[in-house]
Amino acid sequence: MTPLRVAGIGLGDLGRTELHVLAGLRDVEIVAGADVSEQAREQFAQDFDAPTYTDYEELLDTEDVDLVNVVTPHTLHYEQARAALDRGVHVHLEKPMVTEIEHAEDLIARADRANLVLAVGYQRHFDDRFREIRRLLDAGRIGTPHMATCHLEQIWIEWAVRQWRGKPDLSGGGQLYDSGSHLLDALLWTTRADPESVAASIDYRGEAVDVNSALAITLDRDGDRITGTVGVTGAGQSTPAPGERLDVWGTEGHLSFDGDEITITEAGTTYRATPHEPDFETLTRRKLGNVVDAIRDGADLQIPAEDALRVTALTEAAYRADETGERVAVSDLLSDGFGE
């Protein structure tokens, strides 16, 4: 079989880690990498013995590439992904997809027109714990979901704001677009819901980007409304490790996830499940393996850009709601719907 030729755009620690995982997949070859950092380029060349570029467009114009793996600051994603798609190259973007709704819609349209795979790396779609939550909700174990709440706590402010994540021109936002993006994706993906509206209160804690966010949201799940709340804090945490929780109430029961254990209460009886938590390398291998299979064999893509559009739309609507002090209808920010 002809190897799938992969190039990396963004060769930092995570970018190289993902390229190593890709290189370990069947019939995948790492052919080039691009980064503005000389140190990152040198490390990539040492790891993969492949040419490097400072300019990703020069790479795309010079090398024969089937797939690019983009791991760069958030606001750079759109231009880099667009350049690849316009040259007929499949794209895997690290989350968040982009930081403007119209950019997300444009990339989806370009990929659709060219029949290219456009994937966004929300790895929780491959996490057995979140898959089980989705399966239980799909099976109707708590009836029709009507309310949900979730929160995430991290000491994000101690490290992230001193890096590019603390610079709005590169990050596009703070904690809500960083780890908070995974939380929003988990909520929307497990409930199979579209964001409908949001009110928000956001605290920057004296920084240039948001640190704490409190959202009051409404979601649409096949015509049924879910009322919900989201809390994201990057100013500190109550436990030694980052804390996370998701609760969903249905017409016939309640589901909760505390980061380790799933608890379901139905008909007065409580059940508990503890799906195995995959390590990061396993999740990354599952994620990137799915992207490769979607390109090579037409497999169902588990991390489609349409899911990422939902997250970007809700995030941007939350920022606007905080700025205006008014509830924002997400549909008002979209030029079309969310697609499939």
* Main-chain phi, psi angles of 57, to 5 degrees: -70, -35
- In the sheet that holds 4-9, the strands lie side by side as 52-53, 28-34, 4-9, 67-70, 90-93, 118-120
Same domain membership, residue 157 and residue 92: no
Same domain membership, residue 228 and residue 176: yes
CA-CA distance, 208 to 134, in Å (whole number)?
36
Return the SS3 of 204: coil
338 domain-assigned: no
Same domain membership, residue 231 and residue 110: no
Q: How many domains does the chain have?
A: 2
CA-CA distance, 33 to 18, in Å (whole number)?
12
> What CATH number did the domain enclosing 92 receive?
3.40.50.720
> How many CB atoms neighbour CB 82 within 10 A?
17
Same domain membership, residue 164 and residue 90: no
Q: Give the DSSP letter of residue 87.
A: T
Same domain membership, residue 187 and residue 44: no
Determine the structural domain holding residue 226 and report its residue range. Answer: 131-276+310-333
CA-CA distance, 247 to 249, in Å (whole number)?
7
Same domain membership, residue 229 and residue 287: no
Pairing of strands 67-70, 4-9: parallel
137 domain-assigned: yes
36 domain-assigned: yes
Same domain membership, residue 32 and residue 98: yes
Structure tokens at 176: 């809500």
CA-CA distance, 165 to 209, in Å (whole number)?
8
9 domain-assigned: yes
- Structure confidence at residue 239 (pLDDT): 67
- Structure confidence at residue 340 (pLDDT): 57
Same domain membership, residue 46 and residue 152: no
- Structure confidence at residue 176 (pLDDT): 97
Residues ≥6 apart with Cβ < 8 Å to 111: 85, 91, 117, 118, 305
Same domain membership, residue 183 and residue 113: no
Task: Please give the C-alpha separations between residue 241 and each of 152, 155, 180, 249, in angstroms, as whole numbers.
Answer: 11, 9, 16, 26
113 domain-assigned: yes
339 domain-assigned: no
CA-CA distance, 242 to 49, in Å (whole number)?
37
Give pLDDT < 50 ranges for the chain: none
At 229-256, the pLDDT tens digits run 999 999 887 666 668 999 999 999 999 9
Residues ≥6 apart with Cβ < 8 Å to 51: 31, 32, 33, 45, 63
19 domain-assigned: yes
Return the SS3 of 310: helix
Same domain membership, residue 111 and residue 69: yes
> What CATH number did the domain enclosing 229 receive?
3.30.360.10
- Structure confidence at residue 91 (pLDDT): 99
Same domain membership, residue 194 and residue 297: no
Pairing of strands 194-203, 212-221: antiparallel
Residues ≥6 apart with Cβ < 8 Å to 103: 77, 78
